[in-house]
Structure 1
Amino acid sequence: MKQSYRANGKLLISGEYAVLDGALALAVPCKQGQKIEVSTEKTFKEQIHWRSYLEDGSLWYEDVFSLLNFEPLNQNNPVSKTLETLLKQARKLNTNFLVNGNQDIRVQTYLEFPRLWGFGSSSTLISCIAQWAKVNPFELLHTGFGGSGYDVACATAAGPILYQKTSPSKPYIEEIAFRPSFIEELGCVYLNQKKSSKEAIAAYNKIAQSESLISKVSSLSKAIAEAEELDEFESLLLEHEKLLAGHLNVPTIQESLFDDFSKDSGQIKSLGAWGGDFILVTQIQKNIPYFESKGYETILKLSDLIPTS
């Protein structure tokens, strides 16, 4: 018997960092995500054989787990230890999860985007395991890892969402029609490096929480989602960047990497943890040569990433 589960990737348009403290955020699911296939055979081995494949079809991870306690064969592999934690937490949330012995389980996961893109290899996995175990994905996230949960919300969202961490197990999620008339002018440029979400969260948590920041970011997220004109959208992105830069006490991505980018050429905004993964760029078509000349050749149109109903 084979079962299949799938989850969308994600991009955080606004609300990065502050979403951890309850600010409203604008996020979009991506067409590219991750799927898992689970097959079961009657046997006395009582093991889980896990294989994970990249978007090009190549095998990048493999291990075997005990069905009894989810301990991996390879105790020194951090990926195996992460999976062990997730599986154990899933069983805590659903005590009937994989409790039947005399079976051999084979799990295969398939990423639909490059691992280094930051589209949510972890959040899509959490969502798929939650679907498989029939547990609340937000509870699985918070008992096993932590984080705001916006990425887990995107995993099963049909389209763009406004997200707010109102409670660990039941956040506020509103699906919205974010597809502005200028969406073809919006592009995502990969910065050729992965940013660790865990490290970014840890660094942010060392900064004192600001109710003023949460309120301002929430207002900006809503305004960005509702902007009807490109120039208004760009002004809101700039305001958001300056606000976060002041709170984090770091320069904006435009100041640190693209200080020669003309303000008349559009606006640049970080997506998610600052300094890595993707940035959002307006007026993208005319700016493609600029980014390619600097070695940033992975440039995607936002309209091509968001699912359409």
Structure 2
Amino acid sequence: MVVIDNKPTAQTGISFDLATYLAERQAIVEAALDRSLPVVYPEKIYEAMRYSLMAGGKRLRPILCLATCELTGGTVEMALPTACALEMIHTMSLIHDDLPAMDNDDYRRGKLTNHKVFGEDVAILAGDGLLAYAFEHVAVETQHVPADRLLKVVAMLGRAVGAAGLVGGQIVDLDCEGKPNVSLETLNFIHNHKTAALLEASVTSGAVLAGAPEADLQRLSRYAQNIGLAFQIVDDILDITATQEELGKTAGKDLQAQKATYPSIWGLEESRRQAEHLIAGAKAELAEFGDKATPLIALAEFITSRTH
């Protein structure tokens, strides 16, 4: 049985407590992030970078990286710098996404957004600093990984965050704001790039570091694409159904910005059904790994059961 928040779900036939697993992995990631970014001169920029990086959150991306590295024969230690880099990149995207020129949000993870505390100019630079430092951190801090694997991970991170990934999805998202009749194909493009690309890199980078064979990388890539799209569908649902306190950010922003969302195309019930279908597909990709994939199965289920 897999236990998610102490609720058993029939899965791989072994006992697994996701809440404990997440708490342990979050503690590892939090400590590593804290060590990775001390405050030095000029203090203002490091304080701004740390303000958002250490603001909490699920740490789902680094945890996925650690989980897949372990699944495919690697260790937490060899994946931890990449796991931290993924959270730095993700944090950069949140800082920039919250800016007035983008989503113009006042709250993130239950705290004032970076630009509300430090100003727009410093917030832009804090995001830039985190993005650049992410690549430095991977290159300098990763130990006991062959250079060819490390180079492949750096390339994967660059693609996931650039115009072929997150940035490409964001530009189409901005272009579609306020436009009626945005197609499902366009919406899928936005979120396969804006959300799923970095989640896919989180999953596959851990496996690359461990030296996983190509067939396993392909299975994990498909798993990640499915959970990435499901993650966004659930986000769209929560934007309608959750409170600001539950979300940690302003609720109802998509509706205010006249953004196309999955519920606006499918409705809430069909959106939930589609998310469940994607999670089922993700879990099916893990069948070849047997019981070793239990953490990834539980993480996939967590995506659709979360309330914030």
TM-score after normalising by structure 1:
0.29
Q: Which protein shows a greater Rg?
A: 1
The structure with more strand, counted as a fraction of residues: 1
Query: RCO higher in 1 or 2 (8 Å CA, sep ≥ 6)?
Result: 1
TM-score, normalised via structure 2 length: 0.29
Between Structure 1 and Structure 2, which shows a larger proportion of helix residues? 2
